Amino acid sequence: MSKKKDFVKFDKVDKSYDGKVLVVKDLNLDIEEGEFVTMLGPSGSGKTTCLMMLAGFETPTNGEIYLDKNPISNIPPHKRGIGMVFQNYALFPHMTVFENLAFPLKVRKMSQVEIEKKVDKALSMVSLGGFANRMPGQLSGGQQQRVAVARALVFDPSVVLMDEPLGALDKNLRESMQYEIKHIHESIGVTVVYVTHDQGEALTMSNRIAVFNDGKVQQLSSPDKLYEEPVNSFVAEFIGENNTFGGEVSEISNGTCRVKLENGEIIANPISVKSVGEKTTVSIRPERALINPKDKMDNNQKGKIEEVIYHGDHTRVRLNLLGNSEFILKVPNSSQNLDIKLGNEINIGWNSHDARALDPK
């Protein structure tokens, strides 16, 4: 089965609410059939607006959205056949769980037998088999969430949109629901467009993540690439933890560059710098820098421990390194005592490949 590469396609989409400010700027985004794509970004970055345009509740100011090659800007929401899970679930409070799930099937004029079959299947998919006759008000938040997911899937839509669906749940429930939604997606192969501001959620669930900021997609790639290889300093900052150094490129040659800092120099991987003299921000993930490295690493610096925070499975160490007093290290607690004591000077090393010289902040 060949999957359509651009099943959902945003083509040069602009959106403005007041004619003055663009909340979505020149958005181009292709989503593959059966893919789980997350739109991730801080609030006000335009991700929910994109979702609403796809659902049909907002119209693009410019550009066009294609669903399976058909332009959909002029199709009203109820004819798009897109399932949606809302932030506050939006279950119909006056209907039982069964009636809620039967609603999309009834408006499609399905027979009673077929409706019952489909609703049963959808409810068992979210493991709520015995809850058909409850009212939404009698369910816990997690159960309501599952009903909302089941309702968005019960009529076999080609695309399901989820607008921060786990925002109102507590941490443990949220995590288990993440896996549950992921597994449902894997088992039925529906295309999912998911909006969240929680990067953990995005990294856990998605095939690809579109990081939004300021109305634009900053980077669209798989979770591991997004984390390991951020293309700009916003993505590097927004996803995971990050140590940064601001400096100027002093030398650049086959795959490495030297960056001159205020008090020191580091060797880095030039990602978005092209020439000597450019300003840059160097980004290093906390777990890529090691204490007393055994292997030879091309960056070796001495840092002073300023703070040690115990986190159970690991210890966070804050250092003052090359004038940056916010340099964070994560030390797994299984490793031997590496002389991590407040005020100690320790050796820190990392590979130049992991120090990414990105655009200046």
Partner 1 sequence: MSSETGKILTTDGIPLEESLKQSEKKNKIKAFLLVAPLLLFLIITYMIPIGDMFSRSIDDKMVTNMLPKTYKAMENWDGKELPPEEVFEAFYLDYKILVKNKTAGKLQTQLNYEKNGFKSVLKKLARKQKKFEEGNYKEQIMKVHKRWRNVEYWRAIKRRAPSYTYSKYLKGIDMYSNEDGKIVQVSEDRRIHRILWIRTVEVAFFVTLFCFLMAYPIAHLLATLPMKYSNLLMICVLLPFWTSLLVRTASWMILLQQQGIVNDFFVWIGLVADDNRPEMMYNKTGTYVAMTQILLPFMVLPLYSVMKTISPSLMRAGKSLGATPATAFFKVYFPLTIPGIGAGCLLVFILAIGYYITPALVGGASGTLISNQIAYHMKSTLDWSFASAMGLMLLTGVLVIYWIYNKLVGVDNIKLG
Interaction site with partner 1 (CB under 8 A):
55-57, 76-84, 86-88, 90-94, 103-104, 107-108, 151-152, 155, 161
Q: Which is nearer to partner 1, 156 or 186 (CB)?
A: 156
Of 92 and 179, which has the nearer Cβ to partner 1?
A: 92
Beta 279-284 vs 243-253: how paired, if at all? antiparallel
Alpha helices in the chain (DSSP H): 47-55, 97-106, 112-125, 141-153, 171-188, 199-205, 223-228, 233-238
Pick 162 or 328: Cβ nearer partner 1: 162
Q: How far apart are CA 312 and CA 113, in angstroms?
A: 54
Minimal distance, residue 81 CB to partner 1, in Å: 7
Pick 81 or 293: Cβ nearer partner 1? 81
In the complex with partner 1, the residue whose CB is nearer, 163 or 201, is 163
Nearer to partner 1 (CB atom), residue 78 or residue 279: 78
165 vs 247, which CB is nearer to partner 1? 165
Closest CA to 291 of 334, 349, 355, 339: 349
Q: Identity (one letter) of the amino acid at 231?
A: V
H or E stretch at 345: strand 345-350
Q: Which residues neighbour 163 within 8 Å (Cβ) at sequence distance 6 or greater?
A: 48, 51, 84, 85, 86, 87, 195
Q: How far apart are the first and last CA of the chain?
A: 45
Distance (Å, whole) CA 324 – CA 284: 12
Residue 246, CA distances (Å) to 58, 234, 250, 262, 293 in order: 41, 14, 13, 8, 24
Q: Work out how close the CB of 349 gets to partner 1 at its nearest, in angstroms, rounded to a whole number.
A: 52
Sheet architecture: strand order including 290-291: 290-291, 345-350, 299-310, 314-321, 324-332
Strand order in the sheet with 8-16: 22-31, 8-16, 62-67, 70-71
Nearer to partner 1, 44 or 81 (CB): 81
Distance of alpha carbon 209 from alpha carbon 221, whole angstroms = 6
